[in-house]
Structure 1
């Protein structure tokens, strides 16, 4: 290979790193821009906030692969009206939380959740709500803490069949080459999906702009790829069978038109936990927490009839 070709190859290989350096670092100055609060936990700073009455029954909300805690803000207003005290937080590598390196496995995320609960002094039982990948995280936390889990609410939960595009599938399966391709190609795919959200009804203001902001933050892409490999490649059968055995009440809310977590996933959960209750929202896709907020709130209200204090 000629010197020119070698230099060109090195420059091409270094493009993802060069792009990453141009993104906003997650440092103290970055955190000063954030609403809410921060906890310095064992794996890094975690951004979180409380919504609702101090004496309300606690509901902890875990978001999905690419949408930080703001995804819950529209729905949280309804949960607060039901009497819940709602805790929302950003998973590592999303929103305003740090983006520590390392495999983002279910254990990685459940440790973050356990650290945050300990930081906030939450030792009593609670309701856990998980959206998309957050549903898988919530289920894994639940099998380690069935006595603390009052009930589990799942919104389009992952772990029963997750649809990803061909680029993401290739990148998940192939290290090195997959890393390079993901950092170069995924932002375009992500931006296209985010812009499409701008035309949908939303209970979260400027959700498209909030999603696009993730692409400008250092560690986001690396974290998403690590989660695809470490968490979303695994199914949650063992967790849900254990939750059923422990008699933890589970309700799942699905979007009939969801193409990310197809409705057939409902059948797998029903097989693993025959006591789980299901609600299907017509016309809803994968963004149901912010596009069909009132219907989701109604499903939670009808299924659980509010918090039990």
Structure 2
């Protein structure tokens, strides 16, 4: 694995800056690539008449690999980035030499979760996101301990959320709501895989991370004590160590 670049895809509703706390340690070990996904960060939302789909986000990743001349990579992501990784596996499994899944799940949304995503997408389009989306997301993204003791981390995550375009937020929500269950597809993925989850992750808890690891034939599961959903931001040292140990 050392010769394969590491591509990490960010979570919703953030951008590639979420990897900054890990960037120095990972980049010292391997070539690190952290793109913004469509409609988020510095990547515009392409004009299209198609319904939002993570298949299009996966096509963006494959096109990026083509542009960079990369045949195979270690591909991974956090939360939505994990969902896009699964979409890449469905589209171009030959491009993936190993996998890193962080605070994500293989299962599709429940009917209730899908409805909630679509309602938030509609609100983002009609009202914008300022003043409410960060307040809604922060309790889900960070552990209670981090929210109460690390105001600088809370401010960082808030700034990342509030800097996004409402149209990109809405697109991502609708694309995630439409994603299929990937559990059975993962059973055929015979490459090394690392699954990381925060012990206090309420969105994709350790039980779901365990299901994801169980579906993968060659997976290692790492649970980060005390951490919430955004382990790369909340516990970057532990996440970085887990990735580097696994790469070795």
User: TM-score surpassing 0.5?
Assistant: yes
Distance in 2, Cα, partners of 1:144 & 1:90: 19
- Which of these residues, 208, 225, 230, is aligned with residue 287 of structure 1? 230
Contact 1:204–1:290 (CA under 8 A) maintained in structure 2: no
Distance in 2, Cα, partners of 1:207 & 1:301: 25
Corresponding residue for residue 115 of structure 2 = 170
Corresponding residue for residue 37 of structure 2 = 91
Higher helix share: 2
Distance in 2, Cα, partners of 1:57 & 1:220: 30
Matched, 1:241 2:187: yes
Q: Residues 222-261 of structure 1 correspond to what in structure 2 (within 5 A)?
A: 222-231=170-179, 234-243=180-189, 247-261=190-204
Structure 1: runs of 5 or more not aligned:
1-54
Distance in 2, Cα, partners of 1:136 & 1:119: 22
Distance in 1, Cα, partners of 2:80 & 2:94: 23
Largest Rg, 1 or 2: 1
Residues 199-229 of structure 1, C-alpha deviation per residue, up to 9 Å, x if partnerless? 5377898332122111xx3512321332232
- Which of these residues, 56, 72, 79, is aligned with residue 26 of structure 2? 79
Distance 1:163 1:94, change over 3 A: farther
What is the Cα deviation at residue 194 of structure 1?
Answer: 5.8
Corresponding residue for residue 216 of structure 2 = 273
What is the Cα deviation at residue 285 of structure 1?
Answer: 0.4
Distance in 1, Cα, partners of 2:122 & 2:158: 25
Distance in 2, Cα, partners of 1:218 & 1:182: 5
Structure 2: runs of 5 or more not aligned:
none
SS of corresponding position for 2:206: coil
Distance in 1, Cα, partners of 2:110 & 2:128: 15
Contact 1:140–1:239 (CA under 8 A) maintained in structure 2: no
Contact 1:62–1:134 (CA under 8 A) maintained in structure 2: yes
Residues 16-51 of structure 1, C-alpha deviation per residue, up to 9 Å, x if partnerless? xxxxxxxxxxxxxxxxxxxxxxxxxxxxxxxxxxxx
Structure with more relative contact order (C-alpha pairs < 8 Å, separation 6 or more): 2
SS of corresponding position for 2:83: helix
